Amino acid sequence: MSYPPADDRLRHLIAQELNPHVDSWKFAFWLATGLMNNSEIREELERIVTAHANNEPCGDRNCKSCWRAHFATPAP
């Protein structure tokens, strides 16, 4: 079986990112579960994905793909 598991990939990726900053993997995984179950976070992810799918900037200042696209566009 591959890691992270295909059907739980996002939660494992988030937990991996949190893990070095907390005392235990169990706590990192608990935090990641909370993020995964937060409907506002899920809606925001959906909004960003939809904007990108429509080739529109998502407007999030942390979005690396929009940041790159901004600088890839020649100034008028």
Q: Where does this chain bind Zn ion (CB under 5 A)?
A: 58, 63, 66
- 32, with CB counted inside 10 A (0-12, 13-18, 19+), is buried
Minimum distance of Zn ion from residue 10's CB (angstroms): 17
The amino acid present at 61, given as its one-letter code, is: R
C-alpha to C-alpha distance for 43 and 8, rounded to whole angstroms:
18
C-alpha to C-alpha distance for 5 and 65, rounded to whole angstroms:
25
Minimum distance of Zn ion from residue 66's CB (angstroms): 3
Identify which of residues 24 and 73 has a Cβ nearer to Zn ion in the complex.
73
Identify which of residues 30 and 67 has a Cβ nearer to Zn ion in the complex.
67
Minimum distance of Zn ion from residue 75's CB (angstroms): 20
Identify which of residues 32 and 58 has a Cβ nearer to Zn ion in the complex.
58
